Structure 1
Amino acid sequence: MQIHRFARFALVGAAGFLVDIATLYGALAIGLGLYLGRAVSYLSAATFTWAVNRRFTFSTSASPSLAEWFRFVLANASGGLVNYITYAALVTWAAGLLAHPALAVACGSVAGLAVNYAASERFVFRKDQDSDVGHG
């Protein structure tokens, strides 16, 4: 693992966290609830982090594609599952976090970070994937 690349990935993740929180509170405001709202906010943050990571963190020259986005979301599903389970457990059993779900989102984000980085580096933004444009 390249420490600078991991630091960029974490920085993008921090920005994604802000997207996640803003979307979650917007979803809560329109009545989606803590669980469906979180699913919507996670997908919003995942799309944002895919778009930024592909250029800023992994410097891919491939054109963005739905297939690459899907690989990113799929490859990061394990980290996303760790993220969501952590969040759900905290808002379910840590009563104090019901009033501050952003803290539960933060804990989930940290829990999924290393898993998401490894999956992104190995399965989404590999250098040999640049030649895979149009396949996939």
Structure 2
Amino acid sequence: MLSKSRFLRFCCIGGLGFIIDTGITYGLVWIGMSSLTARIPAILVALTICYHYHHGFTFRKTGKAPWKGWYKFALSNAAGSLINYGAYAAVLFFYPSAPLIIPLIAGSGVAMVANYIMSACYVFR
């Protein structure tokens, strides 16, 4: 289940997802959306983009990434997304003056392991 090179590829794509998530969150907060609300579309967009890259790069599947697979990915990573959002909200609650990047890093970091396990064991097996 745990291939070091595959986990490294997973982390690289996760880094891309983090950049997308962070950029969208900051953009939506900049235009006036609350930071908690902004995370929802940001996570969904990052999840969708990461799925396509995980399909071909991380898990080395051939062909076009099927939408059916996206649903499996989204459902299986829902727990990771809830962990991500929960950690993000907790940091904002306990440290409301923290720069937005801090809760973003905390949320993404704690969710990474859960998302990898679900992806390796269920979505791309």
TM-score range, shorter chain: over 0.9
What SS does the aligned partner of 1:96 have? coil
CA contact (8 A) 2:13 2:54 kept: yes
Aligned partner of residue 32 in structure 2, secondary structure:
coil
**Which letter does structure 2 place at the counterpart of 1:101?**
L
User: Structure 1, unaligned stretches of length 5 or more?
Assistant: 127-136
CA distance in 2, matches of 1:56, 1:116: 16
Superposed counterparts of 1:95-134, under 5 Å: 95-97=96-98, 100-126=99-125
Gaps of 5+ in 2: none
Question: What's the C-alpha RMSD, in Å, of the aligned pairs?
Answer: 1.1
Structure whose alpha-carbon radius of gyration is higher: 1
The alpha-carbon deviation at position 65 of structure 1 amounts to 2.1
Which residue of structure 2 aligns with residue 32 of structure 1? 33
TM-score normalised per structure 1: 0.86
- Structure 1 stretches (4+) deviating beyond 4 angstroms? none
Contact 1:27 1:40 in 2 (8 A): no
Q: Quick one: distance in 2 between partners of 1:52 and 1:26?
A: 23
Q: TM-score, normalization: structure 2?
A: 0.93
Count of residue pairs the alignment pairs up: 124
Percent identity at matched positions? 31
